[in-house]
Chain A
Amino acid sequence: MPKERKLIEVTVDRTGATSIDLRGFHGQGCSRVMAWMTANADEITHAHDKPEAFEEPLEVEMTERRTEVL
């Protein structure tokens, strides 16, 4: 099964205000990548996690289950 592609969409308006949208990331990877993209920012005016951010990738879950059986 192909993995979900991890995408970063950056939109910069005509004043330079920026919105950054991460798609396909899970767990702490979201925070790490967002930290990269906002490393030079002076102010974060709004931020929120989406439900997927709290979900573990399916592959990881399956691996853990196999380990329990063994």
Chain B
Amino acid sequence: MSRYAEVITKIKDQGLLCAALTQMGFHEVESHVQAQTLFGYHGDARNERAEVIIRRQYIGSASNDIGFVRDKATGVFKAIISDFDRSSKHYNNEWLGKLNQAYVEQDQMAIAKERGLAFIGREVQSNGAVTLLFALDEPEADELAAKTNLWSTL
């Protein structure tokens, strides 16, 4: 072992957010360039708009749409969840934490793929944490050295 870090990542990538929602079981996720109107459980248009939307029919019969709207200043997505759905214990802060976990997992997988790391495996710990293991194998290391001079400074 040679280096260790702990980091916090906020949800900023729309594609990865959609992938994280899919990983959590939502296979009908809308992704829009321009924010779209959210609807309530009566089918009434709400004031809120969002770029990423899970429509209420995929959430529950008495639910409202769940949306994720990008903060223009920070680029960070914020969840729009009705009080009813938030208090239903399905879409509370714990659920948002798991969404963040899935997002980070997708983010790390994307980075690993982009950098040519070999994916070794995924393990869910007893406390719910997910461990991903990657390897920088010698063929990949040699290739990367040629491309990026990664090892030239060693």
Contacts and interface: CB of A to CB of B under 8 A. Distances in A.
Main secondary structure of the interface of A (DSSP, over half): mixed
Nearest to B76: A42
A10 B131 contact: yes
Interface in A1-55: 3, 5-34, 36-50, 52-53
B43 interface: no
Contacts of A6: 135-137, 141
Given A32-B150, A57-B154, A22 B129 contact: no
A50 B111 contact: no
Contacts of A22: 1-4
Contacts of A19: 4-7
A60 interface: yes
B82 interface: no
Contacts of B100: 15-16
A33 B72 CA distance: 31
A30 B105 CA distance: 21
Given A9-B132, A14-B129, A57-B154, A3 B138 contact: yes
Main secondary structure of the interface of B (DSSP, over half): mixed
B136 to A, nearest CB: 4
Q: Chain A interface: which size bin?
A: 35 or more
A30 B3 contact: yes
B29 interface: no
A10 B108 CA distance: 8
Contacts of B34: none
Nearest to A32: B150
Interface of B: 1-10, 12-13, 94, 97-98, 100-101, 103-105, 107-108, 111-112, 115, 117, 120, 125, 127-138, 141, 150-151, 153-154
